[in-house]
């Protein structure tokens, strides 16, 4: 491999010593105290995927219990704890940190041609905050768990005897990990763009991380305050949510959703950024409507703060307030639709490469469309009154969070895996797993739309016989998902040991992370880089000999060797 390149005289084939960031520094302490964004992202990846696994186990336990009405494998009390833990683990430990911490941390400095993020120590602190917060949440699971639902609504959350204080304290600490990550990304994007990379020459993934970071920094403190008030209410009985003391339990919902609705965009915006990268590379075409996609990320971030009341149409809010929140909810669909249309326009007449990352793009487009459109159902007042708190809502948010974010996350993992670990994985098994996930997902959650529209309430341990066929199909679907993820775990871990060595640029990406070694050297680049058009796919040609895409004009992206005066 390397020979091919030195023959072409490009400085892309890793450090002279053959060292890379995975081999530089030995032992657990060299990881726990690392300031290298790449190592921090790998640690995040392991922890976040571990949380997904834990949340998935809770999900399968829920689904097994729902195989038949009445008791199947657990009591009603345990069931309440199971769906609460499933939701809380999936939201606070997995999907909120998710793409920004595990993939953004790795890719952002590389896409900027930079050595690291602007604040490496703050980056490490954000990871330690994740570790500390996750530990406190896990302690709460061990000491009795929580049975309030992941939203911790008052008044029940102030009276139940379960471990609300430790779980919410854990979520509070995790909030700092999110704020620090956002802060770091904003400073890095403002101060570390290379020569030539103006704002509208920046990869769209970075626009999505930038918009997400704004929400992380502005909205997360509101969650922190809300959880502290809840803890104070439980421990000191201040009465802010207690009508008997002049408080208002519905006020908690306003505080909670003022963060948690923007939070759903912390989940989906980075996913949309991944899709923008992959759809261009695997269509072999320049992205369509670059500026519209960039601005739609900002628009989504702004609108995300204006719609929280759509979670409370049945909470006794006034008709006028309901109408305003409903109208604003419809408007959020516009910037999302702009992205979907431009992604489809990019694929139009493209040379579609159906490698595993692109299969996830296609799944995303189909599933996210269903998730988004059913959001409009729930945004319309007359329909929401009937569907609120039913399985239609459960299906809707799984189509957006799982069908959207998780699917794009998997696409990103399969796209950047060769760069992160220097190994290719089995394309055959990757496609099998992607197909099983698509089938299992729709079987699990589409059935939930149907039973929800027939009135099946969420968070119910028992149900009427008429819903049994839907629940059983949904449970079968969830097991297919389980099998698909086991296959994925196998071939990805297998690739780390036996995978074929990855070239610098196996997919033909024109962004700067593909202009350095796979895996990168500890300091990322040996040259100062230039910011060219990140979607100029035609500036690359495929080298059959090495299975690598190389620049037609190799020198175009380098300024001068680092350290050269």
- What is the dihedral sign for C-alpha 182, 331, 307, 450? negative
Q: Which does 505 bind (CB under 5 to 8 A by kind): ligand HEM, Cu ion, none?
A: none
The reply to whether 452 sits near ligand HEM by the rule CB under 6 A is no
Min separation Cβ 402 and Cu ion, Å: 16
Q: What is the DSSP string of 190-224?
A: HH-PPBT--GGGS-HHHHHHHHHHHHHHHHHHHHH
Per CB under 6 A, the segment of 226-234, 258-266, 307-315, 401-409 that binds ligand HEM is 401-409
Nearer to ligand HEM, 174 or 202 (CB): 174
DSSP state of 540: E
> How far is residue 493's CA from residue 432's CA, in Å, rounded to a whole number?
16
Q: Check binding of 400 to ligand HEM (CB under 6 A).
A: no
Select from 419, 404, 434 the least CA-distant residue to 343: 404
| Binding partner selected for residue 271 from ligand HEM, Cu ion, none, CB under the kind-specific 5 to 8 Å limit | none
Query: Is there a contact between 414 and 356 (Cβ–Cβ < 8 Å)?
Result: yes
From 410, 472, 402, select the one nearest 441 (Cα to Cα). Answer: 402
Q: Does 557 bind ligand HEM (CB under 6 A)?
A: no
- 375 near ligand HEM (CB under 6 A): no
Stretch that binds ligand HEM, among 23-31, 83-91, 198-206, 539-547 (CB under 6 A): 83-91
Applying CB under 6 A, among 193, 261, 311, 398 the residue interacting with ligand HEM is 398
Q: Does 444 bind ligand HEM (CB under 6 A)?
A: yes
Q: Residue 403 or 503: which CB sits closer to ligand HEM?
A: 403
Q: Nearest approach, Cβ of 102 to ligand HEM (angstroms)?
A: 14
* Contact partner, 86, from Cu ion, ligand HEM, none, Cβ < 5-8 Å per class: ligand HEM
Distance CA 499, CA 176 (A): 37
**Is 47:134 a contact under the CB 8 Å cutoff?**
yes
Looking only at the bridges linking them, the beta strands covering 548-551 and 540-543 are antiparallel
- In which element (H, E) is residue 548 found? strand 548-551
For residue 272, the minimal CB distance to Cu ion (Å) is 16
Binding mask 13-42 for ligand HEM (x = CB under 6 A): ------------------------------
Query: Toward Cu ion, which CB reaches closer, 261 or 423?
Result: 261
**In terms of CB distance, is 431 or 458 closer to ligand HEM?**
458
By CB under 6 A, is residue 145 in contact with ligand HEM?
no
Query: What residue is closest to Cu ion based on CB?
Result: 261
**How buried is residue 253: exposed, middle or buried, by Cβ count under 10 Å (0-12/13-18/19+)?**
buried
* Longest CA pairwise span in the chain (Å): 80
What is the number of residues in the chain? 565
Q: Shortest approach of ligand HEM to residue 397 CB, angstroms? A: 7
214 binds ligand HEM (CB under 6 A): no
Q: Does 62 bind ligand HEM (CB under 6 A)?
A: yes
Binds 87, which of Cu ion, ligand HEM, none (CB < 5 to 8 A, cut-off by type)?
A: ligand HEM
- Distance, CA of 152 to CA of 163 (rounded, Å): 11
User: What's the CA angle centered on 269, arms 264 and 272, to 5 degrees?
Assistant: 130
DSSP-assigned letters across all residues of 267-327: HHHHHHHHHHHHHHHTTTSPPSSHHHHHHHHHHHHHHGGG-GGGG-TTTT--HHHHHHHHH
Q: Which stretch binds ligand HEM (CB under 6 A): 89-97, 103-111, 190-198, 489-497?
A: 89-97
Sole binder of ligand HEM in the list 21, 92, 94, 549 (CB under 6 A) = 94
In this structure, what token pair is assigned to residue 314?
């049945």
With residue 293 as reference, give the H or E element that holds it. Answer: helix 290-303
Nearer to ligand HEM, 51 or 166 (CB): 51
Cβ atoms of 184 and 176 within 8 Å: the answer is no
Name which of 126 and 326 has its Cβ closer to Cu ion: 326
Residues that bind ligand HEM (CB under 6 A): 56, 59, 62-63, 83-84, 86-87, 90-91, 94-95, 149-150, 394, 398, 401-402, 406, 444, 458-459, 478, 481
């Amino acid at each position: 491999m390397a020979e091919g390149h030195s023959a072409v005289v490009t400085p892309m084939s890793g450090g002279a010593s053959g060292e890379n960031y995975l081999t530089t520094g030995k032992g657990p302490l060299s990881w726990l105290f690392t300031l290298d964004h790449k190592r921090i992202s790998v640690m995040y990846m392991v922890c976040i995927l571990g949380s997904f696994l834990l949340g998935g186990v809770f999900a399968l336990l829920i689904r097994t219990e729902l195989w038949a009405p009445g008791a199947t494998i657990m009591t009603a009390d345990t069931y309440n704890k199971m769906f609460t833990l499933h939701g809380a683990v999936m939201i606070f430990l997995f999907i909120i940190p998710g793409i920004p911490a595990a993939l953004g941390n790795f890719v952002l400095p590389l896409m900027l041609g930079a050595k690291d993020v602007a604040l490496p120590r703050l980056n490490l602190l954000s990871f330690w905050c994740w570790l500390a917060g996750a530990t406190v949440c896990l302690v709460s699971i061990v000491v009795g768990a929580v049975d309030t639902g992941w939203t911790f609504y008052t008044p029940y959350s102030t009276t139940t005897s379960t471990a609300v204080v430790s779980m919410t304290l854990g979520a509070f600490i995790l909030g700092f990990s999110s704020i620090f990550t956002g802060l770091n990304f904003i400073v890095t994007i403002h101060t570390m763009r290379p020569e030539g990379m103006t704002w509208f020459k920046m990869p769209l993934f970075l626009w999505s991380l930038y918009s997400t970071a704004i929400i992380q920094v502005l909205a997360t403190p509101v969650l922190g305050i809300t959880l502290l008030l809840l803890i104070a209410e439980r421990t000191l009985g201040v009465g802010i949510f207690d009508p008997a003391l002049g408080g208002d339990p519905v006020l908690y919902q306003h505080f909670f959703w003022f963060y948690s609705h923007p939070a759903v965009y912390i989940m989906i915006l980075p996913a949309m950024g991944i899709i923008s990268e992959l759809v261009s590379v695997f269509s072999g075409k320049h992205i369509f409507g670059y500026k519209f996609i960039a601005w739609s990320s900002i628009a989504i971030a702004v609108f995300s703060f204006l719609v929280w009341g759509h979670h409370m149409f049945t909470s006794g809010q006034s008709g006028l307030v309901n109408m305003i929140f409903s109208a604003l909810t419809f408007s959020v669909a516009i910037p999302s639709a702009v992205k979907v249309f431009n992604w489809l326009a990019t694929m139009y007449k493209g040379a579609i490469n159906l490698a595993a990352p692109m299969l996830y793009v296609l799944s995303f487009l189909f599933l996210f469309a269903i998730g988004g459109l059913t959001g409009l159902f729930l945004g319309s007042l007359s329909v929401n009154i009937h569907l609120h708190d039913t399985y239609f809502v459960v299906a809707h948010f799984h189509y957006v969070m799982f069908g959207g974010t998780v699917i794009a996350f998997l696409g990103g993992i399969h796209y950047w895996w060769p760069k992160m670990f220097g190994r290719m994985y089995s394309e055959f098994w990757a496609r099998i797993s992607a197909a099983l996930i698509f089938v299992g997902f729709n079987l699990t959650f589409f059935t939930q739309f149907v039973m929800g529209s027939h009135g099946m309430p969420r968070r119910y341990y028992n149900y009427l016989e008429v819903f049994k066929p839907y629940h059983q199909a949904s449970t079968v679907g969830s097991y297919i998902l389980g099998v698909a993820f086991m296959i994925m775990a196998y071939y990805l871990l297998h690739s780390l040991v036996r995978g074929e060595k990855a070239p610098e640029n196996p997919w033909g990406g024109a962004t700067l992370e593909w202009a350095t070694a796979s895996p990168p050297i500890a300091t990322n680049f040996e040259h100062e880089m230039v910011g060219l058009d990140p979607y100029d796919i035609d500036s690359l040609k495929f080298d059959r000999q090495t299975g690598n895409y190389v620049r037609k004009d190799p020198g175009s992206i380098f300024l001068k060797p680092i350290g050269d005066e």
